[in-house]
Structure 1
Amino acid sequence: MMVMTESPPQDRKPVAWVAGGSRGLGYALAGELGRAGYHVVISARTQTDLARAANQLRAAGAEVTTRVHDVRDAAGARDLVQEIESRYGSIETVISVAGVITVGPVPDLAEAYDESLDIMLRGPINVVHAVLPGMRERRRGRIGIVTSIAGVIPVPHLLAYSAAKHGAVGFARGLSEELTGSGITVSTIIPGLMRTGGHWQAGYVGRSEQEYAWFTGLSALPIVAMDASRAARIIAAGVAAGRRKIIFTLPARLGDFVYRLSPVGVGTVVGAAGRLLPRPPDDASGDDQTHDDQAPGFRAAAGLPKVFDRFTALARNAVRRFNNQAGFQ
């Protein structure tokens, strides 16, 4: 489904498409690209989020078009690209950001992985293959695929997320090699922990309050987690320069380096850290662990003491700043 309400721009700015641009890092990237002089197309699944994002981005001076699109829809991505390019001009830059996060122990059911794999592995593939024919014909283009340090180093209690991001890293790196010399660059974007407000919309399984507490607590630490606005500046500059690998924060860069030196050693440390995280209810799998039983962050947070809000103020402030405020009080 596509919603078309905007009029074509009078000038022909270069066009950038941010898939997953209504919230979080994608929203921050849309603002950064707008300031860089692009006509920015943001797509996402929810019209309400898109409309709110567009209003805020336009108020900041960006030229923004919105389209409702689910990255899992390959045919819809092709239709979207055809419609954008016929109205606004060639897509010079595309950044695939759309993602979901589920935090908790290993799930019972294989189906629990479907959404993560479909959005964060199949999604970038669908987005890229929608723009690739035109870029090949023009012999130019910039592609950015947002993965994660969890796609390099497995992270406990983020198994579905890590699995999808590992696949996305492989796809982005392989595509970069395939397109060498074509005039098209592919940037594998490997962020560390960021303050995007995404903790508020993530799904928490099992002991949801405890899972929310550790994940959000890390997101609030200024040395460990980077503000999404700063991350967006790094990404936009790196994609524009055609850098093959864009990795940040400092902990992510150090982790990537050490993991290449000693994957077994890092795996031992990560495994030990995982044993400190919340256990499944009754220390056993059961109905609490089914893939349908998730509490979003704004519900998981309700049972925590108010002092936790003060401790995690930086993460909480990011919820509104990056348009993640559904359910926010």
Structure 2
Amino acid sequence: MQLPKRLIVAGLAAAAALAARRSLTPAYDLRGKSVLVTGGSRGLGLALAEECARRGARLTLMARTQSELERAEQRLREQGAEVQIVCGDVAQEADLARAVAQSVAAWGRLDAVINNAGIIQTGPVQDMTEEDWRTIMEVNAFAPLRLMALALPQLRRHQGRFLLVASIGGKVAVPHLGPYSMSKYAAVGLGAALRSELARDGVSVTTVCPGLMQTGSPRNALVKGDHEREYAFFATLDNLPLVSMDAQAAARRMVDAMVRGEAEVMVGLPAVALRYAAALAPELVADLMRLSNNFLPAPTGDTRAVRGFEAESDLTRNNPLKRAAEQRWGQNH
């Protein structure tokens, strides 16, 4: 059944009007605004904090490790940022509540929240336990839901912003990232639901789906199965110049999306290409994912998880791009 031409023209006109309205809407000014960044002590979170600081925001960083928070705080203060730190776990609602309360106590308000904290697990699905899937859902999907609920009174009061960092893994399921993809698919759906329902409260929700970024994050990822081979594959891909994106550039694009009030943004050319390929040719992409799995390590039956830095080999230890990313974004402590 073909749609009437008038309906098609009306739809296109409405889309053009919405696009024009969005382009004419002034960007959200971060100068003097209070911004809470979870997972802000290293990696992408630290890059996002630096980008917000460059735009004049006053920062509250939340992460689990006090020493890493203190290093990040010192680094940001040396750049002239106004910043405070809160040590806590995003999987604990009381810690999230404390971070929101301390943001308001320190700066008098809370204007924007960047939900960046997350965990990555890599390995064959056969080597994952049900607990692995539940744990990553708590951190990557339920934590941002709880954080929004706690921050909403402040965000509503100040016509605030909520930036939800998801992943291209929330659009295309990549082999050996099963639990991670499930949690990020949930995060993408959460972001879309929150955006549509909170708009009438004046709260803008933006979901960003980056591809691989040079943040040094594989060092702290949870690795299962054939630990050394899994980690070598993951860490190498994460630092290939044509495949992965510079963390600072990625952070700039994400904060741009937040201040413009964009709905959903793919960050990095590979992420954009994969997103549209999956939309236009889902069977082809599914076949490519199936074929790529043949080149990955086979399941071992070992459900023990190690951190990436515990699975170092000569291949990863001597990778200069990987070392540089870890050093730059505080992942090597």
Instruction: Say yes or no: TM over 0.5.
Output: yes
- Alignment-derived partner of residue 318 in structure 1: 325
2:148 to 125, 128, 136: 128
Once the two structures are TM-superposed, the CA of residue 162 in structure 1 deviates from its matched residue by: 0.7
1:51 correspondence with 2:70: yes
Correspondences of 1:1-329 after superposition (within 5 Å): 13-106=32-125, 107-138=127-158, 140-281=159-300, 285=301, 288=302, 290=303, 293-301=304-312, 303-305=313-315, 308-310=316-318, 312-326=319-333
Whether the 8 Å CA contact 2:162–2:204 is kept in 1: the answer is yes
Is 2:166–2:209's contact at 8 Å kept on the other side of the alignment? yes
- Which segments of 5 or more consecutive residues in structure 2 lack a partner in the other structure? 1-30
Query: What's the RMSD between the two structures over aligned residues?
Result: 1.5
**SS, match of residue 72 in structure 2:** helix
Give the superposition deviation at 1:322: 0.7
Q: Is the 8 A contact 2:213 2:246 kept in 1?
A: yes
Counterpart code for 1:315? K
Instruction: Could you tell me which runs of 5 or more consecutive residues in structure 1 were left unpaired when the two chains were aligned.
Output: 1-11
Report how far residue 78 of structure 1 moved. Answer: 2.4
Identity percentage of aligned residues: 36
Q: Secondary structure at the match of 1:190?
A: strand
For residues 233-260 of structure 1, what are the alpha-carbon distances to aligned partners after superposition, in whole Å with 9 as ceiling and x for unaligned?
Answer: 1111111111111211111101111111
**C-alpha separation between the residues in 1 aligned to 2:329 and 2:267?**
19
SS at match of 2:298: coil
Post-superposition Cα deviations, 1:190-209, rounded to whole Å, max 9, x if no partner, equal: 00110111011112111111
Q: Work out the CA distance in 2 between the residues paired with 1:29 and 1:108.
A: 31
Output the TM-score relative to the length of structure 1.
0.88
The Cα offsets for residues 107-143 of structure 1, whole Å up to 9 and x where unpaired, read as 35211212211111111112111111222234x0011
Q: Report if aligned partners of 1:73, 1:126 keep a CA contact under 8 Å in 2.
A: no
Q: C-alpha separation between the residues in 2 aligned to 1:66 and 1:104?
A: 33
1:79 CA displacement: 3.3
Helix, strand or coil for the counterpart of 2:205? strand
Q: What's the counterpart of residue 21 of structure 2?
A: none
Equivalent-residue separation in structure 2 for 1:74 and 1:263 (angstroms): 38
How far, CA to CA, are the matches of 1:41 and 1:84 in structure 2? 6
Aligned residues: 302
After superposition, give the CA deviation of every residue in 1:77-121 in whole Å (9 maximum; x if it has no partner): 223312321331211111000011111111352112122111111
Report the TM-score, using the length of structure 2 for normalisation. 0.87
- Shift of the 67–253 alpha-carbon distance from structure 1 to 2, 3 Å rule, reads same
Structure that is richer in helix per residue = 2
Deviation at 1:309, TM superposition (A): 4.4
Tell me which residue corresponds to 2:13.
Answer: none
Cα distance in 1 between the residues matched to 2:80 and 2:157 = 32
Aligned partners of 1:56 and 1:76: how far apart in 2? 24
Stretches of 4+ aligned residues off by more than 4 angstroms: none
Q: Give the whole-Å Cα distance in 1 for the aligned partners of 2:317 and 2:233.
A: 13
Q: Secondary structure at the match of 1:181?
A: helix
> 2:232 & 2:95 partners in 1: Cα distance?
37
Q: How far apart are residue 188 of structure 1 and its match?
A: 0.6
